[in-house]
Chain A
Amino acid sequence: MSYGKLDHRNGDLPRSEPQMFTMHAQNIAKPQSRTLPRHLRRLEAESIEIMREVVADFRKPVMLYSIGKDSSVMLHLAQKAFYPAKVPFSLLHVDTTWKFREMISFRDETAQRLGINLIVHVNRDGIERGINPIDSGSTLHTQVMKTDALKQALDLYGFDAAFGGARRDEEKSRAKERIFSFRSHGHVWDPRNQRPELWNLFNTRSWKGETMRVFAISNWTELDVWEYIMLENIPVVPLYFAKKRWVVHRNGALIMVDDERLPLVSNETPELKMVRFRTLGCYPLSGAIESDAATIKDVVAEMQVATLSERQGRLIDSDEVASMEKTKREGYF
């Protein structure tokens, strides 16, 4: 294996084999007695109810599995919702081919451990066109490899509902997003054509070609997610926990040198830093934070003093104020 010019400068480079994070895994099979606080119990029950609605009313639902913490929580909720039956839908990962290696191995291990069908979709056309986050820029890369790829996959398999892990607390324009977000033909999201949601009475009807994104954890906050992961011992990608990793400073963010594909500019020197991630995406677009939080308890504790939002590390939407709304209108979530 070659890391290009990095190799010449430093003998021990980021070779850390992706290793599974199994600390909590053994607890998963055997449920333990629960001590969830009431607000989390309420959120949990509400999400389970939403998932059951989808399975009851849609022909072919799927869960968009992004491998992140929110996906981990959603998947955990899905197991609860349909127990003792298996989760009655597939997971769909839209792979940009630029995910952290640890994410990919975690993904495959998770699907196998839970016996859930995993569909991985890559926009082959984008690959052929040579689209990548470094040369094409984050906007185009996201558009082609994520937004277009997602639409491709939904059309290809004929899914009529797709669970997404977006939360209302993430960003301003998300605060008004419906739980059942309606997409007309061609996956178009029209803010003026969204259905009012009263009580828990969701309007699940759609005609052929129309689809629904269902945000089952809309009402959770980032903190709720972490507390729940802690209390329920839910496995998450180890990248969320601090460890010495090779990073470079770039545009004010710490970018991890996850493989040899990241070209380094002359003044960039990878440094071994104790870092972790608050959100995960394509590694060249995900900023790490310096942190000593190596366990879930540390992470929750660190959140108490956090002064930056989780989106701050995401290069995808730091340039445009209303970018999230635009992205959404174009069909990515």
Chain B
Amino acid sequence: MDTDALRELTFTDSKDQLRFITCGSMDDGKSTLIGRFLHDSKAIYEDQLQALARDTVKHGTPGDAIDFALLVDGLEAERDQGITIDVAYRFFSTPRRSFMAADTPGHEQYTRNMATGASNAQLAVILIDARKGVLVQTKRHSYICSLLGIRHVVVALNKMDLVEYRKEVFDRIVGDYVKFASNLGFTSIAAIPISARHGDNIINRSRNTDWFHGPCLLDYLESIDIQSETAGLPFRFPVQWVNRPNMDFRGYAGTVVSGSIAVGDEIVVPASGRNSRVKQIVTYDGDLVRAEAGDAVTITLADEIGIGRGDVIAKPTERPEVADQFAAHVIWMDQEDMVPGRSYGFRIGTQSSASGSITAMKYRIDVNTGAHVAARTLRLNEIGFCKIATLLPATFDAYEANRRTGSFIVIDGETNRTVGAGMIAFPLRRAVNMAWRPLSLGKKERAALKHQRACIIWFTGLSGAGKSTIANLVDQKLFAMSYHTMLLDGDNLRHGLNRDLGLTESDRAENIRGAGQVAKLMVDSGLLVICSFISPYKAERDMVRDLVSDGEFIEVFVDTPIGECVRRDPKGRYAKAKSGMVKTFTGVDAPYEAPSAPEIHLTTLNQQPERLADTVLNCLAARGIIVPTNRTEN
């Protein structure tokens, strides 16, 4: 095929897109290869070429007229270092196909970038330096591609010019590769001898390799049949958004990620077990009779069955898994190590704010050999096999069966960084298909209805320490984030429920006991209960702690020195205590037992209440009690 054919911008209805990733170690020629595709397909314009020629002088490989790698190596920092440290997406097009190429770094410390590039790729071009053959890194790249679900591989044996285009070299290395890759689950492996720098077998077949009878790389990429991998799979429709423009219309907006659905088909929402039938498939361009994998549509149902964002619509005959525990491969992507048992946010499909934790590490995988290594945690760029538990049951498939419904990302609740990515292997404990109406309603169900986790946030500290101020702010902020809360304050309780109680030691104890019981009832009803009591005695606070389950009592120690409290004395109580008008006043003539290990310790001197309230919210998020996104109600 000649170069000009690439430029013809005509297209047919069947023109499609192929997304591929190029893998190779540093200097194998990835950037050069993609740069050449761009150049030869005229995706590069004259002015860009001129800039490139200038850049070549400044940064490029000495001796080259034009260093194609500079076309794709973008960010300032990495250009100066001469390496690719991020994923670059590049585009070129022929009349038959448009291509999106992900250029990713190949070093072990960039495994996360490679995984990112591979996650959306349908095919991998694995570069091997003809002088070096199959190396450890080749195996790593192949392994990651396989794990990320890529089923088609092209081995591009690069730098053939440096081995005199010899057939034996090609045959030997390809033989090695095929032997190694036989158990990686690839559906197709092709091998092509190329020179990225000189253009052999890239856009045109090369005369330097007349012993090679296969297609050149572009021809191969243009013609390989990646028949829609998702078409034959069971129907899955993760609901993104409920479209309710008026009382008469309630549609579920989303993309058919696999399979197909037609008007009249019976459907089920596996998480609730409720059934209905497809009434309409709505699009801006008119209603459809059938929607296929890849279509972004809005579905209406015959019955109102309480569907919201995060639900998956499936067919009753082909249900996904519903479970709150599963095993998965996890790639760690953050500088901070993974902490088993810690609460993280999980995003599974459109279930964007699940919380849960990685309960156990089974083993780490040596990405160079595929060997299983005992490990307790995962560091940046490491891959492990883990057990994961989510607070509420999640709907999913095994990643091997469906890349779109079997994948998830892990989010740090405090920093909001994406710290990991995972591929589900199998459910560990299937949630019994939840009946629509649970037999007995408990805290969990009531809290789930409000999309939250119930708990007591207990502020303790001296009078005037700032408890009520901060507690009020926290209450307001949670409310603004659509959490259902209730505020119990020492003062307001004493005016009503505990009006008959005085300030003696036993009355104080009774006051706290009553408050604790009320708070517990509120937790049972699914609320986030914010309590603000001096509560000077450790034993009393622990008594309240014991009323609720583990992790549901968050003690917040508002730590203000007595001197400062006396100085503030907002209610004039210290003055009264000093003058003897009030008896047994905490901090004056009654003890305050500071918490030894509060969940949250706030030192208030020189701090703004606003900031302190934010600290509390951050801690709540870190504990997975709240999700730090802006919640929207469907």
Contact = CB atoms under 8 A, between A and B. Distances in A.
A176 B251 CA distance: 35
B249 A49 contact: no
A58 B630 contact: yes
B46 A176 contact: no
Interface in B591-634: 627-630, 632, 634
A224 B17 CA distance: 12
Interface string A292-306: 000000001001111
Given A84-B245, A207-B628, A306 B13 contact: no
Given A84-B245, A85-B244, A201 B408 contact: yes
Contact of A198 (B93, B253, B421): B421
Q: Which 5 A-B pairs have the closest CB atoms?
A: A85-B245, A309-B45, A59-B630, A83-B284, A198-B119
Given A201-B408, A203-B347, A196 B75 contact: no
Contact of B295 (A45, A59, A312): A45
Contacts of B245: 84-86
B119 A199 contact: yes
Contact of A196 (B9, B333, B352): B333
Nearest to A175: B88
Given A224-B98, A322-B76, 19 more contacts: A31-B285, A42-B294, A45-B296, A52-B296, A56-B352, A176-B75, A176-B86, A191-B75, A196-B421, A198-B116, A198-B407, A199-B404, A199-B407, A203-B347, A206-B629, A206-B630, A309-B45, A322-B79, A325-B74
5 contacts: A42-B294, A174-B74, A176-B74, A223-B9, A325-B76
In the complex, which range does the number of interface residues on chain B fall in?
35 or more
B391 interface: no
B283 A83 contact: yes
A168 B89 CA distance: 7
A193 B397 CA distance: 31
B222 interface: no
B240 A321 contact: no
Interface stretch (A17-25, A74-82, A135-143): A74-82
B291 to A, nearest CB: 10
A206 B627 CA distance: 10
A56 B116 contact: no
B138 interface: no
Among A172, A199, A203, A322, residue most surrounded by chain B Cβ atoms (within 10 Å): A199
B241 A203 contact: no
Nearest to A85: B245
A32 B283 CA distance: 12
A308 B403 contact: no
A198 B295 contact: no
A175 B79 CA distance: 14
Contacts of B241: 52, 55-56
Contact of B13 (A38, A52, A83, A203): A38
A311 B87 CA distance: 23
A52 B253 contact: yes
B336 to A, nearest CB: 14
Nearest to A47: B296
Interface string B398-413: 0000011001110100
B43 A169 contact: yes
Interface in B71-85: 71-77, 79
A304 B632 contact: no
A42 B120 CA distance: 13
B89 A219 contact: yes
Nearest to B48: A309
Contacts of B12: 37
A207 B613 CA distance: 14
Nearest to A45: B296
Interface of B: 7-9, 11-17, 43-48, 51, 54-55, 71-77, 79, 86-91, 93, 97-98, 100, 112-113, 115-116, 119-120, 240-241, 243-245, 249, 251, 253-255, 282-286, 294-296, 298, 309, 333, 345, 347, 349-350, 352, 403-404, 407-409, 411, 416-418, 421, 627-630, 632, 634
Nearest to B38: A169
A160 B481 CA distance: 14
Contacts of A43: 17
A303 B43 CA distance: 11
Contacts of A38: 13-17
Given A41-B294, A198-B421, A172 B89 contact: no
A52 to B, nearest CB: 4
Nearest to B421: A198
A228 to B, nearest CB: 12
A11 to B, nearest CB: 37
A47 B200 CA distance: 37
A117 interface: no
Interface in A30-72: 31-35, 37-39, 41-45, 48-49, 52-53, 55-59
B285 A205 contact: no
A304 B74 contact: no
A325 B73 CA distance: 13
A173 interface: yes
A15 interface: no
A266 interface: no
B116 A196 contact: yes
Contacts of A199: 119-120, 403-404, 407
Contacts of B89: 168, 175-176, 218-219
Contacts of B243: 82, 84-85
B241 to A, nearest CB: 4
A200 interface: yes
Contacts of A10: none
Nearest to A324: B74
A197 B404 contact: no
A215 to B, nearest CB: 11
B157 to A, nearest CB: 26
Interface string A179-220: 000000000000100011111110111110010000000110
Nearest to B16: A38
Contacts of A95: none
A85 B610 CA distance: 38
B295 A52 contact: no
A221 interface: yes
A258 interface: no
A45 B409 contact: no
B282 A49 contact: no
Contact of B75 (A45, A227, A311, A325): A325
A169 B38 CA distance: 11
A256 B187 CA distance: 56
Nearest to A43: B17
Among A42, A80, A83, residue most surrounded by chain B Cβ atoms (within 10 Å): A83
B350 to A, nearest CB: 8
Contacts of B48: 309
Nearest to A218: B89
Contact of B240 (A35, A49, A210, A309): A49
A307 interface: yes
A205 B45 contact: no
Given A81-B296, A172-B72, A325-B76, A49 B43 contact: no
B116 A31 contact: no
A312 B45 contact: yes
A195 B77 CA distance: 18
Nearest to B54: A321
Contact of A34 (B45, B46, B285): B285
